[in-house]
Chain A
């Protein structure tokens, strides 16, 4: 058996050069996988079922009926109330992120159908300033919620966020209150709200609309929590358990309804809407 072990070590030592874009190393199982295979599999690792982060637009394709999405409130943009700047100004940072992500903000919203069911939808994008919630994201969630209430159609949100957007200071923090107030009205109006949590969902987003769903779904192994793991580690000065703040951990602790594979997500949402109608 000894030479087997040796063989394994050798393999680990060897530096593998990966041609840009053609092969991808899975963040979870470390396997090198042909990128097209992952693309075909909805950005899920075919070896270990690890769900790669996806953009809001990819998410949209995956969850709504083709050609059904009509964007709302796409003209909203932040007005930099604090005149915040670190190395670069907040305005420049926004511009950078727009170029990088091809999006105007960290969330898109609109109406669409899911297997024929009309819904109002908000999808966050982690690649835009860490999916942080400032005034614009808050306003989009608020308006989406009000529209859902008005037309009595379910609200679906897909969260993926580091939390409140520091660069807008208290304006960001107050978005948590605003969106929670809008969801409260939705609930009183008897309108279904399904909250989907994707990797990662933290801080002010978790502690507001993301945890307020009538039904809360999460993608496998998504990191979800209030405080980030690094902050917790620094506070308690202990190493965190391996599965800590993973979707499965939240399920185990009774905080979410269901962990749903990406390929089942659309079907599951449609099923819930149909059953709750």
Chain B
């Protein structure tokens, strides 16, 4: 498989290409070369540690959108022993930008729902680049009601650039579909756990993430508007915005997991392997599943009334204002 490197990973790419080249030449025999290989491998690891320890918000945004980054179904397939995907909103269609179904995680049956992006042109189009129409949110709504009826926890995985801005989406009530989910999730009488695994794109992401516990992967982002959208509003200079503008906008928006933990908008950060989730999908999935199970253990003990009461209290705390009396 051809690995995809982001711009800021180029120095690592060069080293790794060199290592592969040496490996091919030596074929594991020449002792002198294998020493050199070990030295270069350590250098690559150190370099990666260094680069990844000080990623900028924009670099994190790019990493969150990395074409090799694992998507919802990748994680579901690893963390669940069984999974039955369920389709359709029973009203209009089956939106493939949101997937969901019944899964067995550990000893629990849960309803798991997430945004789904595609890999490769054909699947990307099929998944509409992870941008749901109202039907996607209505499918999620239906599955969450199902979970509530059978007293199963709801797990959501967040990864979308945003809800799709199109004519059909507006005609069929994109805003209504999102608001209905926000309202439903706020009063679901079962535990709700959300994990941002990639891009948390505004209202389209929020519509699946009103929860008892909100986690983010280490290099995921969650924002009210994309850095590109923010830059376009702030510096509308003849349309030719560049990476510098996006970088400045990402700084201003405070969209990283680290920022949002500090603001207490999220509950915890789930670590990623060195180099990002795609470098070791199994390990990332394991980290996610451990966190989910830990939260489930904690939430299971609460009565439905207490759950919804605490969820409301959590939400109520999120605001930044002063009050003069």
Residues on A close to B: CB < 8 A? 73, 75-82, 84-87, 135-136, 138-139, 142, 164-166, 168-178, 180-181, 183-185, 187-188, 203-204, 206-212, 225-228, 231-232, 235-236, 238, 240-241, 244-245, 249, 253-255
Interface status of B225 (Cβ within 8 A of chain A): yes
Give the complex CA separation of A211 and B230 in angstroms. Answer: 25
Q: Tell whether, in the assembled complex, residue B319 and residue A171 are in contact, meaning their CB atoms are under 8 Å apart.
A: yes
**Interface mask (B192-235 → A, CB under 8 Å = 1, otherwise 0):** 00000000001100110010000000000011110000100111
> In residues 250-264 of chain B, which contact A (Cβ within 8 Å)?
252-255, 260, 263
Segment touching A, from B21-29, B159-167, B271-279: B159-167
Given contacts A181-B182, A207-B207, A211-B173, 5 further A-B contacts (CB under 8 A): A82-B253, A170-B263, A180-B186, A208-B182, A211-B175
Q: Tell whether, in the assembled complex, residue B186 and residue A177 are in contact, meaning their CB atoms are under 8 Å apart.
A: yes
Q: Tell whether, in the assembled complex, residue B171 and residue A79 are in contact, meaning their CB atoms are under 8 Å apart.
A: no
Segment touching A, from B78-86, B282-290, B310-318: B310-318
Partner of B179, one of A135, A209, A244: A209
Q: Tell whether, in the assembled complex, residue B182 and residue A180 are in contact, meaning their CB atoms are under 8 Å apart.
A: yes
Give the complex CA separation of A237 and B225 in angstroms. Answer: 21
Q: Tell whether, in the assembled complex, residue B224 and residue A240 are in contact, meaning their CB atoms are under 8 Å apart.
A: no
Give the complex CA separation of A32 and B255 in angstroms. Answer: 47
Give the complex CA separation of A79 and B171 in angstroms. Answer: 37
> In residues 139-175 of chain B, which contact A (Cβ within 8 Å)?
163-167, 169-175
Give the complex CA separation of A211 and B265 in angstroms. Answer: 25
**Interface mask (B15-36 → A, CB under 8 Å = 1, otherwise 0):** 0000000000000000000000
Q: Tell whether, in the assembled complex, residue B187 and residue A226 are in contact, meaning their CB atoms are under 8 Å apart.
A: no
Interface status of B183 (Cβ within 8 A of chain A): yes
Q: Tell whether, in the assembled complex, residue B225 and residue A166 are in contact, meaning their CB atoms are under 8 Å apart.
A: yes
How far does the Cβ of A104 sit from chain B's closest Cβ, in whole Å?
A: 10
How far does the Cβ of B258 sit from chain A's closest Cβ, in whole Å?
A: 13
Interface contacts (Cβ under 8 Å), in number, total 186
Give the complex CA separation of A208 and B222 in angstroms. Answer: 18
Interface status of B1 (Cβ within 8 A of chain A): no
How far does the Cβ of B35 sit from chain A's closest Cβ, in whole Å?
A: 49
List B contacts of A168 (CB < 8 A).
Answer: 224, 320
List A contacts of B186 (CB < 8 A).
Answer: 177, 180-181, 184
Give the complex CA separation of A86 and B234 in angstroms. Answer: 7
Q: Tell whether, in the assembled complex, residue B163 and residue A232 are in contact, meaning their CB atoms are under 8 Å apart.
A: no
Q: Tell whether, in the assembled complex, residue A236 and residue B167 are in contact, meaning their CB atoms are under 8 Å apart.
A: yes
Supposing A164-B224, A203-B203, A225-B170 touch, asked if A139 and B319 sit within 8 A by C-beta, the answer is yes
> In residues 62-86 of chain B, which contact A (Cβ within 8 Å)?
none
List A contacts of B263 (CB < 8 A).
Answer: 81, 170-171
> In residues 285-325 of chain B, which contact A (Cβ within 8 Å)?
311-312, 315-316, 318-325
Supposing A82-B253, A245-B170 touch, asked if A181 and B210 sit within 8 A by C-beta, the answer is yes
Partner of B174, one of A166, A172, A227: A227
Please list 26 pairs of residues, one from A and one from B, whose beta carbons are closer than 8 Å in the complex, sorted by A's number. A73-B323, A77-B321, A80-B320, A82-B252, A87-B234, A135-B320, A139-B319, A164-B202, A169-B224, A169-B254, A170-B254, A170-B260, A171-B263, A171-B265, A171-B320, A173-B206, A177-B182, A181-B311, A184-B184, A204-B224, A207-B163, A207-B174, A207-B182, A211-B179, A226-B178, A255-B173
List A contacts of B179 (CB < 8 A).
Answer: 176, 180, 206-212
Instruction: Give the residue name and chain of the B residue nearest to A135 (CB).
Output: B319
How far does the Cβ of B282 sit from chain A's closest Cβ, in whole Å?
A: 30
Interface status of B176 (Cβ within 8 A of chain A): yes
Instruction: Give the residue name and chain of the B residue nearest to A85 (CB).
Output: B252
Give the complex CA separation of A203 and B175 in angstroms. Answer: 7
